[in-house]
Amino acid sequence: MTVEPPVADRRPVTRIHHGDEVVDDYEWLRDKDDPDVIAYLEAENAYTDAQTAHLETLRGEIFEEIRSRTKETDLSVPVREGGWWYYTRTVEGAQYGIHCRAPLSSEDDWTPPSIADGSGLPGEQVLLDDNVEAEGAEFYSLGSFDVSPDGTRLVWAADTVGDERYTLRIRDLETGQDLPDTVPGTFAGAAFSPEGDAVYYPTVDDAWRPDTIWRHAVGTSGEDDELVFTEPDERYWVGVGVTRSKRYVEIVVGSKITSEVRLLDTRNPDAGFQVVWPREIGVEYTVEHALVGGHDRLLVLHNRGAVDFELLEVDPERPADPAHQRVVLAHQPGRRLEEVSAFARFLTVDYRREGLTRIAVLPLPALAESIDSGALLELTFDEELFSVGTSSNPEWEQPTVRYGYTSFVTPPSVFDYDVTTGVSTLLKQQPVLGDFDPQAYEQSRMWATAADGVSVPVSVVARKGVLGAGPAPLVLYGYGSYEASIDPSFSVARLSLLDRGVAFAIAHVRGGGEMGREWYEHGKTLTKRTTFTDFVSVAEHLVDVGVTASDRLVAQGGSAGGLLMGAVANLAPELFAGILAQVPFVDALTSILDPSLPLTVIEWDEWGDPLHDPEVYAYMKSYTPYENVADLPYPRILATTSLNDTRVLYVEPAKWTARLRTVGAPVLLKTEMSAGHGGVSGRYERWREVAFEYAWMLDVVLPSA
């Protein structure tokens, strides 16, 4: 039986900006309280179910492949903090993690314990079982999790809807019971004060912008919480934390291009929060507290006159005085400094060079004596492509650096680097069950020439023998916004594509950060189209050199990468057999024109301000996917979204789908009715979602799959 696609009602509304009149037939779909809107979304889901019913067996196979390759009962590498090892366990059959801790064997115990079967550690204490807390909820996400410095209390906050508004609670870890303290409507990122007697947390305004920091005294009502700081400028968000040294409470204020840091010295709390550097449009910086030569210093990583950032050491009493500043790591074009972490005896530096992530260590004696970048001890790796970064290093006095490493063919691996000996010790590599053999796959970097002659890096992985044997089916992934880098990484789920002879590639297009800050600058605001044309150039290159062919090429991207998908669908529909657009930002102009919508004003630094600038308006209108749907030979399109998404509202792909239908495009819309921007919650539900998308892509590139 043939099932006809839903046809959305046309209810035209007119908007006028800068003398340009636009009639929008589908803006009515924005009102999710309208029963007609829900009925339309459910009709689209039913149509998608019918159109993909023949893939049910394949979806089941992929789900079982993911599950069979995953060690379901497992244990993360324990992290030392205070007198405990903290870790998360997963249990076969359970959707969520279990957050636990176990006591140290001694004060000198810096070697994390391991249990082969993932069943837990001796003396284990369960702090929070997400499976218990999620019981009865269709969605669950943990947004805050922080243990007090004395280890006696836990602040945690969960979202059970998907709108990223979390109810904050405080748990007594001696009794395992939550205190009466309950604060609804918080944002993620609550943290205990260094003294442990209070919790700092952010809340959002009506436009879903984190704008206010509060101080909650443990054991009191949320109604009595102290307003610590609020940011009235709608371009800026706020966050709160504590330095690793526990010396300062830190409030970070930031826009897409500007930041400001305020510090509260715990040794002089009556002085209140002090600004490190007053905000200056276009200047971004972060701050770390360090002890250099026995003296308190602030390390400021900034881009003032340094496009790829430099590191300064400044006097905390006079941080903005040039006479009390010293360059630690000078700006080097092409070496994008991304993060600096200070410890009692050394610093770590995360950065990018030649399109790959890097990490290095700088001992504090070298910092005190020299500002030569040659003092950096960069860790080296053997693979052509990889991703590496420091993580899970909470202790000020620790003698080691924890870092993660992965590639397309190497599962995520956790190492401890001994700063004294220079030796890295592998603590754990993600198990991949079954017959997985990394030698059966190959990864490589290619370069495509963009329309303006710039070389665009492309990372490719495939099973050996697939590339070079004629055009292969291929999934080409792209993002290209916010200076976010899509680095090579391992995926258990992706093996289900690779083992069926499908190659996977990442187009590192401008707008991302893979090649440094200028790579980002050349793909935003009034150069945003470069992101789209770079992706098209990469696709053309892969076809021209015979890696793939247009009839077996699928493009994939999500969120701002979904905008990329919609744009290339209009620019070069003939290049692709299919396009998977996940939570796609496809009605960007409508959204960015409305300051009342979530995050709009914050986004003006990324896309431009079309509300007040006619040039930006015209430019955005020239590429926004919804505005540019035309009578074109569109490939098969699958758009996915979530009803409670607060970042990219469901209405964008809903409107896009409705308009695509008017020109006969073969489009499907799948809406999760109880999820947020990240999709469904729970690992098994996520695997089913991946299986759905992979089965659809395989049906496009391998119709016989």
Which positions are annotated as active-site residues? 559, 645, 677
Q: What is the DSSP letter of 666?
A: -
Nearest-angstrom CA–CA distance, 263 and 251: 7
The DSSP-derived string for 407-459 is -SSS--EEEEEETTTTEEEEEEE----SS--GGGEEEEEEEEE-TTS-EEEEE
Token look-up 């990889």 returns 386
Nearest-angstrom CA–CA distance, 211 and 204: 5
Nearest-angstrom CA–CA distance, 336 and 328: 15
Nearest-angstrom CA–CA distance, 216 and 138: 29
Q: What is the DSSP letter of 51?
A: H
Nearest-angstrom CA–CA distance, 87 and 97: 10
Nearest-angstrom CA–CA distance, 288 and 109: 26
Sign of CA dihedral 699, 700, 702, 703: positive
CB neighbour list of residue 521: distance below 8 Å, 6 or more residues apart: 307, 527
Helix axes 35-51, 651-662, angle to 10 degrees: 60
Q: Kindly report each contact of residues 52-60 with a partner whose C-beta sits within 8 Å and lies 24 or more positions away, as own/partner.
A: 52/668, 52/692, 52/695, 52/696, 52/699, 54/699, 55/692, 55/695, 55/696, 55/699, 58/695, 58/698, 58/699, 58/705, 59/688, 59/691, 59/692, 59/695, 60/691
Which three-class secondary structure state does DSSP give residue 563? helix
